[in-house]
Structure 1
Amino acid sequence: MNDIQSLPAQGARTLNWKVWIKTSRPFTLTAAVSPVLVGSAIAAYAGTFHWITFLATLLACLFLQIGTNFFNEYFDYRYGLDHAGSLGASTVIFRSEMTANQVLGGGIASFVIAVLLGFLLIFLVGPAIILFGLTGMLIAYFYSARPFKFSSRGLGDVMVFLAMGVLMTWGSYYVQIHQWSWQAFAASIPVGFLVTAILNMNNVRDYQDDLAVNKKTLPVRFGLPFGKRFHASLLMGSYVAATIFTLVGLLPVWSLLVWLTFPLAFTNVRAVLTGQERKVFMIAIKRTAQLLLIFCVVLTVGIVIATLV
Structure 2
Amino acid sequence: MREKKTMRDARSISQRTAQPVALKTWVKTSRPFTLTAAVSPVLVGTALAGYEGTFHIWTFLATFFSCLFLQIGTNYFNEYFDYRYGLDHAGSLGAMTVIFKQEMTAGQVLGGGIFCFVVAALLGVALIFAVGPEIILFGLAGILIAYFYSAKPFKFSSRGLGDVMVFLAMGVLMTWGSYYVQIHHWSWSALAASIPIGFLVTSILNMNNVRDYQDDLAVNKGTLPVRFGLKFGQRFHAALLFGSYLATTIFVISRLLPWPCLLVWLTFPLAYTNVRSVLQATERKTFIVGIKKTSMLHLVFGVVLAVSILLAIFL
TM-score category of the 2 structures, normalised to the smaller one? over 0.9
Structure 1 residue 35 displacement after superposition = 0.2
Say if 2:55 is the partner of 1:22: no
Q: State the match for 1:238 in structure 2.
A: 244
Separation (CA, whole Å) in 1 of partners of 2:276 and 2:134: 44
The amino acid across from 1:24 in the alignment is S
Q: State the match for 2:265 in structure 1.
A: 259
Q: State the match for 1:141 in structure 2.
A: 147
Structure 1 residue 12 displacement after superposition = 4.8
The amino acid across from 2:269 in the alignment is P
Structure 1 residue 11 displacement after superposition = 4.8
Say if 2:37 is the partner of 1:70: no
Say if 2:187 is the partner of 1:181: yes
Aligned identity (percent) is 73
Say if 2:6 is the partner of 1:6: no
Alignment of 1:24-173 (within 5 A): 24-173=30-179
Deviation per residue, 1:4-46 (Å, 9 max, x gap): 7212342554211100000100110000010000000111111
Normalised by the size of structure 2, how large is the TM-score?
0.97
Deviation per residue, 1:218-262 (Å, 9 max, x gap): 000000000000000000000000000001100000000000000
Structure 1 residue 168 displacement after superposition = 0.4
Unaligned runs of 5+ in 2: none
Counterpart secondary structure, 1:6? helix
Deviation per residue, 1:268-309 (Å, 9 max, x gap): 000000001000000000000000000010001100000233
Q: State the match for 2:296 in structure 1.
A: 290
Paired residues, number: 309
Separation (CA, whole Å) in 1 of partners of 2:119 and 2:74: 13
The amino acid across from 1:40 in the alignment is T
Verify the 8 A CA contact 1:186 1:251 in the aligned structure 2.
yes
Say if 2:272 is the partner of 1:275: no
Deviation per residue, 1:96-137 (Å, 9 max, x gap): 000000000000000000011011101111111000000000
Deviation per residue, 1:50-88 (Å, 9 max, x gap): 110001000000000000000000000000000000000
The amino acid across from 1:8 in the alignment is I
Verify the 8 A CA contact 1:11 1:96 in the aligned structure 2.
no
The amino acid across from 1:234 in the alignment is L
Q: State the match for 1:191 in structure 2.
A: 197
Q: State the match for 2:256 in structure 1.
A: 250
Counterpart secondary structure, 2:97? coil
Verify the 8 A CA contact 1:187 1:242 in the aligned structure 2.
yes
The amino acid across from 2:149 in the alignment is Y
Cα RMSD after superposing both structures: 1.0
Unaligned runs of 5+ in 1: none
